């Protein structure tokens, strides 16, 4: 239930904070914009927009009437005055004398009117805000309003529920045509307090910040009450509730299905490599109950509840039955059908248009698994979360619409118009994707110096990184350290014992439910023990073999099963050692385990090639940590220092001098080597050993 969050004290604080520099109008505009942004039932992410008409001075000191309107790239929930660029009002209003105007002309006029040429681009609804005489204008895509307006008899429902102070306009493309329609409506009915745009959303307006905001709340609340009363009258008590005995699959079963779905989507396009995306998995009661409704398939196949969502979620969502979900071929077929349908939608609607119009990628962004939950996909984790938030609200609104009437989405041709509208695409921005965009990496022993170095390089390249370690607290510390360096990084710290196949299986499942699957695996966990063969305790030897060798085997084994399910290739980099080729006396357990591990890496290169997975080895040496200590050196450093009569600094110096390049090897050197071996730069390379040791002739691979 939406409710007014207006608070006189808070409003006063905003005036105190922004009033002096920006004026009271803008201070209150920021305040009520944030109040709207706080409620997800009103707007989600970049959705909705707000404006205020006020006065400002230009460089000459002349006072002008201006429109302060939400700029692109800002969300209402945390908007600042800088997110409400000022546009001169009179020139905008004069434009209404024109019979028509192209989008490019409209954008040009709006940008030309900016008081600050470097300000963000004002909303595509700028002219609509300018058309209304009211000082404050608020616009949302509120769920309950959309439940009423995606109906055959939407206009009647709106009139019945919201009363005679609310105007109704049929679907009209945003931009100049919609602004003109609002202008005409207001001229006929100046008493209106709000306008509902069918299949789009609602505008409220007033000369006072609080009144405009509270009109929005009042009308959305009226729509909510109306919908609820209808649901109750129908006796729909169990609306989106599960029967208590509904079966719930295990996390492992769900994770396997998620790997299959994400992999099938990644492989659905011919041509360039797999289109891997980051995912979000949600399985709350509402989503699961929705997925079991008899009308679920039909509702998912229809377009979004407001066309603005199409650029985040695509029009239709994909439905996978619980019988299909564990079967790779059947899931791949379902994805293929989705892609074909999207192609047909493009072909039909692009016919007769600009021949240069390029089809966007035809891959689904939201996938429901019957009874289990919902998977969303995006170019990065944030995009996947945005799609999930939108889908979560959309399906509730769609189901409610079907309960009180018949949900009817905007026709495909109109949706296409919005999806391929240049102004809508501009909202997404043109980012060049980083090298490992959409990929997910899992590193064992990630809490030590080398692990952090690898994680840092992979995260910088856009991969989501799962830092696993036997010591969860240390893994969390490592993730926290990386977050300081890379605030945008997508990271997850997990406890994982490489010697325990159950623990490894669980870690892969948890990582899958968090990000969608695993594309890169770096067996990096290791331990050392210093003893001559003469003095070696078998128990110590066994322990080193267990972690370094058996641990790598267990990891590779689980990775192979995941890679096969996904079918979208991948990369493995085994963290071996300089000791593989140049072992050290009194270092038998470590050197033998590393030689075995290195051999397993080659076996994996042989076996995984058919899965499109490349496996390579890195032989590093004498890598000391700085911000994070090296676990290995904590174990063997004191012995080494003692045997050579050196302190820690002296020991580092000793290793540096020993190398051909006289270079200290850093965790980043190792990380960069791993990044090269997992990225497309080395797409034709598998089974090789890359040394990162400063140059040690005795350890040259041979
Ligand atoms: Zn809108």
Q: For residue 237, how many other CB atoms are within 10 A of its CB?
A: 8
Q: Yes or no: say if 334 and 239 are a contact pair by the CB < 8 Å rule.
A: no
**What structural domains and CATH numbers belong to the chain?**
8-233 (3.40.225.10), 251-416 (3.40.225), 440-697 (3.40.50.720)
- Asked if 491 contacts 452 with a C-beta cutoff of 8 angstroms, the reply is no
More confident position, 235 or 530:
530
Q: Quick one: tokens of 605? A: 């290169």
336 half-sphere exposure, CB direction, 13 A CA radius: 8
125 alpha carbon to ligand 1 midpoint, in Å? 7
Ligand 1 center to 174 CA (angstroms): 8
Size of the chain, expressed as the number of residues it contains: 702
**Gap from CA of 230 to ligand 1 centroid (Å):** 26
- What's the pLDDT tens digit per position in 391-412? 999 999 999 999 999 999 999 9
Q: For residue 176, indicate whether it is catalytic.
A: no
Say which of 18, 345, 590, 655 is annotated catalytic.
590
Expressed in angstroms, the distance from the first to the final Cα of the chain is 70
Distance between Cα 203 and ligand 1 center (Å) = 9
What pLDDT, on the 0 to 100 scale, is given for residue 82?
Answer: 96
| Inter-residue contact 78 to 38 (CB < 8 Å) | no
> Are 121 and 111 in contact, with CB atoms under 8 Å apart?
yes
Q: Which of 160-169, 471-480, 618-627 has the lowest mean pLDDT?
A: 618-627
Kindly indicate the confidence band of residue 159, based on its pLDDT and cuts at 50, 70 and 90.
Answer: very high
Average pLDDT taken over every residue of the chain: 94
Mean pLDDT for the stretch of residues 71-79: 94
Q: Are 121 and 69 in contact (CB under 8 A)?
A: no
pLDDT at 233 over 80: yes
Q: Per-residue confidence at 702, pLDDT binned at 50, 70, 90?
A: confident
- Give the 3-state DSSP-derived string for 522-573, with helices as H, strands as E and coil as C: ECCCCCCCCECCCCCCHHHHHHHHHHHHHHHHHHHHHHHHHHHHHCCCEEEE
Contact of 316 with 294, CB cutoff 8 Å: no
What is the predicted pLDDT for the residue at 343? 96
Residue 364's pLDDT is what? 97
pLDDT at position 430 = 67
Q: Report the separation in Å between the CA atom of 334 and the middle of ligand 1, taken as the mean of its atom positions.
A: 32
* Ligand 1 centroid – CA 419 distance (Å): 14
Q: Count of CB atoms within 10 A of residue 489's CB?
A: 20
Tens of pLDDT, residues 433-480: 999 999 999 999 999 999 999 999 999 999 999 999 999 999 999 999
Tens-digit pLDDT profile for residues 271-322: 777 899 999 999 999 999 999 999 999 999 999 999 999 999 999 999 999 9
Give residue 30's pLDDT: 98
pLDDT at 624: 82
Q: Give the model's pLDDT for residue 271.
A: 78
Position 432 scores a pLDDT of 85
Q: Rounded to 5 degrees, what are φ and ψ at 671?
A: -60, -45
- For the stretch 13-46, pLDDT in tens is 999 999 999 999 999 999 999 999 999 999 998 8
Look at the alpha carbons of 16, 18, 22, 24 in this order and tell me if their dihedral is positive or negative. negative
pLDDT band at 622, cuts 50/70/90?
confident
Give the distance (Å) from ligand 1 centre to CA of residue 308: 7
How far does the centroid of ligand 1 lie from the alpha carbon of residue 48, in Å? 6
Q: Are 517 and 490 in contact (CB under 8 A)?
A: no
Query: How far, in Å, CA of 439 to CA of 589, rounded?
Result: 35
Is the model's pLDDT at 8 over the cut of 70? yes
pLDDT in tens, 426-443: 767 667 899 999 999 999
Q: Give 16 Cα–ligand 1 centroid separation in angstroms.
A: 31
The predicted model scores a pTM of: 0.94
User: What does the pLDDT look like over 412-427, one tens digit per residue?
Assistant: 999 999 999 877 777 6
Query: What is the DSSP annotation of 202-229?
Result: EEEEESSHHHHHHHHHHHHHHHHHHHHH
Please give the pLDDT value at position 237: 67
Instruction: Name the residues around ion ligand 1, CB cutoff 5 A.
Output: 201
The conformational region for residue 195 under phi > 0 = left, psi -120 to 50 = alpha, else beta, is beta
Indicate the pLDDT class of residue 619, thresholds 50, 70 and 90. Answer: very high
Distance 406 CA to ligand 1 centre (A): 22
C-alpha 309 – ligand 1 centre gap (Å) = 10
Distance 391 CA to ligand 1 centre (A): 17
Kindly tell me if the per-residue pLDDT of 635 is higher than 80: no
pLDDT above 80: residue 638: no
Model confidence at 261, pLDDT cuts 50, 70, 90, reads very high
Whether 537 contacts 589, CB under 8 Å: no
Contact of 687 with 602, CB cutoff 8 Å = yes
Q: Which ranges of 325-439 would DSSP assign to H, the alpha helix?
A: 328-350, 381-404, 412-419, 422-425
Give me ligand 1 centre to Cα 216, in Å: 14
What is the average per-residue pLDDT within 542-548? 98
In this prediction, what percent of the chain has a pLDDT beyond 70? 99
């Amino acid at each position: 239930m939406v409710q007014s969050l207006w608070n006189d004290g808070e409003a006063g604080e905003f005036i105190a904070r922004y009033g002096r520099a920006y004026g009271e109008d803008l201070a209150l505009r920021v305040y009520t914009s944030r109040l709207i942004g706080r409620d997800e039932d009103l707007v989600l992410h970049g959705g909705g927009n707000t404006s205020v008409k006020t006065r400002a001075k230009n460089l000459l000191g002349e006072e002008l009437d201006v429109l302060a309107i939400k700029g692109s790239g800002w969300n209402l929930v945390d908007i600042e005055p800088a997110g409400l660029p000022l546009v001169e009002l009179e020139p905008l209003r004069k434009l209404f004398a024109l019979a028509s105007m192209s989008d490019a002309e409209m954008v040009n006029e709006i940008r030309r009117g900016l008081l600050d040429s470097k300000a963000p681009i004002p909303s595509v609804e700028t002219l609509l805000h300018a058309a209304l005489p009211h000082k404050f204008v608020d616009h949302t895509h509120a769920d309950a309003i959309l439940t009423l307006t995606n109906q055959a008899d939407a206009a009647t429902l709106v009139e019945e529920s919201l009363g005679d102070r609310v105007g109704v306009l049929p679907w009209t493309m945003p931009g100049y045509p919609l602004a003109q329609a609002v202008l005409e409506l207001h001229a006929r009915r100046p008493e209106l307090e709000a306008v509902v745009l069918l299949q789009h959303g609602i505008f409220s307006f007033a000369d006072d910040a609080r009144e405009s905001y509270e009109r929005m709340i009042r009308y959305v609340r009226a729509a909510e009450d109306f919908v609820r009363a209808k649901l109750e009258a129908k006796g729909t008590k169990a609306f989106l509730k599960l029967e208590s005995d509904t079966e719930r699959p295990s996390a492992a079963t769900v994770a396997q299905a998620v790997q299959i779905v994400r992999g099938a989507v990644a492989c659905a396009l011919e041509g360039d490599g797999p289109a891997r995306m980051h995912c979000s998995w949600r399985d709350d009661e509402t989503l699961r109950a929705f997925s079991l409704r008899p009308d679920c398939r039909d509702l998912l196949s229809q377009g979004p509840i407001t066309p603005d969502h199409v650029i985040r979620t695509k029009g239709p969502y994909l439905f996978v039955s619980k019988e299909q979900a564990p079967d790779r071929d059947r899931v791949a077929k379902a994805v293929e059908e989705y892609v074909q349908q999207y192609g047909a939608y493009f072909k039909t609607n692009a016919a007769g248009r600009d021949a240069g119009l390029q089809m966007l990628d035809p891959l689904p962004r939201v996938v429901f698994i019957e009874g289990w939950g919902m998977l969303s996909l995006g170019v990065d984790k944030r995009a996947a979360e945005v799609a999930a938030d939108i889908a979560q609200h959309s399906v509730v609104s769609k189901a409610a619409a079907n309960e009180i009437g018949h949900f009817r989405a905007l026709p495909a041709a109109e949706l296409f118009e919005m999806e391929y509208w240049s102004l809508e695409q501009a909202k997404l921005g043109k980012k060049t994707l980083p090298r490992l965009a959409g990929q997910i990496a899992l590193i064992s022993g990630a809490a030590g110096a080398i692990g952090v170095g690898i994680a840092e390089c992979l995260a910088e390249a856009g991969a989501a990184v799962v830092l696993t370690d036997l010591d969860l607290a240390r893994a969390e510390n490592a993730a926290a350290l990386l977050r300081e360096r890379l605030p945008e990084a997508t990271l997850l710290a997990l406890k994982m014992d490489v010697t325990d196949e159950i623990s490894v299986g669980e870690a892969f499942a948890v990582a899958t439910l968090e990000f969608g699957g695993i594309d890169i695996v770096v067996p990096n966990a290791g331990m050392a023990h210093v003893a001559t063969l003469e003095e070696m305790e078998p128990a110590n030897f066994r322990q080193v073999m267990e972690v370094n060798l058996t641990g790598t085997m267990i990891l590779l084994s689980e990775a192979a099963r995941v890679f096969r399910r996904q079918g979208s290739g991948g990369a493995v980099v085994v963290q071996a050692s300089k000791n593989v080729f140049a072992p050290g006396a009194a270092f038998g357990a470590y050197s033998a385990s590393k030689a075995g591990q290195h051999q397993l890496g080659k076996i994996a290169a042989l076996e995984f090639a058919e899965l499109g997975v490349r496996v390579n080895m890195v032989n590093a040496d004498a890598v000391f940590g700085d911000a994070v200590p090296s676990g290995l050196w904590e174990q063997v450093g004191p012995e080494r220092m003692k045997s050579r009569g050196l302190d820690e600094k002296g020991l580092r110096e000793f290793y540096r001098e020993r190398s051909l390049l006289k270079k200290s090897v850093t965790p980043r050197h190792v990380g960069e080597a791993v990044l090269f071996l997992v990225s497309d730069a080395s797409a034709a390379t598998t089974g090789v050993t890359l040394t990162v040791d400063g140059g040690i002739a005795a350890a040259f691979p041979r």
